């Protein structure tokens, strides 16, 4: 009897805004699905497109990248650089056929606990509907290393 598909979601977030927002969701006891794994970086400026590729290699069905709103970056303008990077990499991923619903970018501030919870909820549901990222999982299986799904 196979279990219903539960997507694996990895979120790369900045410490001062989105991570703090996620903490706020916690202190407010909001509830969201347990599918997401959060990786903390000091700033969205530190979030490399490589991380996204490795998350997929580990069997992630969806990736979220999130940080401070433009103008509010704790490190002045790391997120402006991130934004340009995301624009280019997002276009490249979509052109390559990575479905748009599997890679999401957002600005979530330290005060937006509700936004964080709601976004995780909607992303998880969207990917649950889209199903596992089978095309990628097949490529992973081909290399002989099992993805932890």
Partner 1 sequence: MAKIGVFVCHCGENIAAKVDCTKLVAAMESHPGVAIAHEYKYFCSEPGQESIKKAVTGHGLTGVIVAACSPRMHEATFRTACAEAGLNPYLCEIANIREQCSWVHSDGEQATRKAIEITRSLVEKVKRNNELQPIEVPVTRRALVIGGGIAGIQAALDIANAGGDVVLVEREASLGGHMAQLSETFPTLDCSQCIMTPRMVEAARHPKIRLLTYSEIEKVEGFIGNFNVTVRQKARYVDMNLCTGCGECIIKCPAKKISGEFDCGLANRTAIYTPFAQAVPNKPVIDSGHCIYFKNGKCKACQRVVCPTGAINFDMEDELVELEIGAIVVATGFQVQNTALYGEYGYGRYPDVLTGLQFERLASASGPTGGKIQRPSDGKEPETIVFIQCAGSRDPSKGIPYCSKICCMYTAKHAMLYHHKNHEGNSRIFYMDIRAAGKGYDEFTRRAIEEDGAGYVRGRVSKLWQENGKLMVRGADTLLGRPVEVAADMVVLATAMVPQSDSKELGKTLGIGYDEYGFFNEAHLKLRPVETATAGIFLAGACQSPKDIPDSVAQASACASKVLALFSREKLEREPVIAQNNEATCSGCWGCVLACPYNAIEKKDLTDRAGNLIRRVASVNAGLCQGCGTCVTFCRSNSIDLAGFTEKQIFAEVMGL
Partner 2 sequence: MSIQEQYRSRAKELLREGTVKMVIGYGAGTTPLRRRPIFITSPDDADRLVLDAACRTNLAGYLLREGLLADQKSVAVFLTPDGVRTINILAAESQLATEQVIVLGFQIDGENARQLEGTRVADFSGIIAERKKKRKEQPSHEVARKLEQMTSVERFAFWEGEFSRCIKCYACRAACPMCWCRRCVVDNNQPQWVNTSSHTLGNLEWNLVRAFHLAGRCVECGNCSEACPVNIPLHLLNRRMTEEVLTAFDYYPGADEHQEPVLASFRKDDPETFIL
User: Where along the sequence are the contacts to partner 2 (CB under 8 A)?
Assistant: 49-50, 53-54, 57, 70-71, 77, 80-81, 83-100, 104-107, 119, 135-136, 139-140, 142-143
Helix axes 78-96, 49-57, angle to 10 degrees: 50
117 is written with which tokens? 């919870």
Is residue 132 within the footprint of partner 1 (CB under 8 A)?
A: no
Distance between first and last Cα of the chain: 17
Least spacing, CB of residue 127 vs partner 1, in Å: 16
Nearer to partner 2, 20 or 82 (CB): 82
- 3 state DSSP class of 71: coil
**What is each CA distance from 47 to 40, 83, 137, in whole angstroms?**
9, 11, 23
Largest Cα separation within the chain, whole Å, is: 52
Place of tokens 């509830």: 31
Least spacing, CB of residue 128 vs partner 1, in Å: 14
Least spacing, CB of residue 21 vs partner 1, in Å: 10
Question: Interface mask (CB under 8 A) for partner 1, residues 61-80, using x and -?
Answer: ------------xxxxxx--
Q: How far apart are CA 14 and CA 18, in angstroms?
A: 6
Residues that bind partner 1 (CB under 8 A): 10, 15, 19-20, 22-23, 25-27, 29-34, 37-43, 45-48, 51, 54-55, 57-58, 73-78, 81-82, 85, 117, 148
């Amino acid at each position: 009897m196979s279990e219903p598909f539960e997507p694996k979601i990895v979120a790369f977030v900045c410490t001062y805004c989105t991570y703090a927002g996620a903490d706020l969701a916690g202190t407010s006891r909001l509830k969201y699905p347990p599918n997401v794994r959060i990786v903390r970086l000091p700033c969205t400026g530190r979030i490399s497109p490589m991380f996204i590729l490795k998350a997929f290699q580990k069997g992630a069905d969806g990736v979220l990248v999130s940080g401070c709103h433009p103008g509010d970056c704790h490190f002045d303008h790391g997120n402006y650089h991130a934004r340009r990077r995301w624009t280019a990499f997002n276009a490249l991923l979509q052109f390559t056929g990575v479905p748009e619903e599997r890679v999401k970018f957002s600005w979530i501030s330290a005060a937006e606990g509700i936004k964080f919870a709601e976004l995780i909820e909607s992303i998880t549901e969207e990917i649950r509907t889209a199903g596992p990222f089978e095309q990628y999982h097949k490529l992973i299986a081909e290399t002989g290393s099992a993805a932890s799904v």
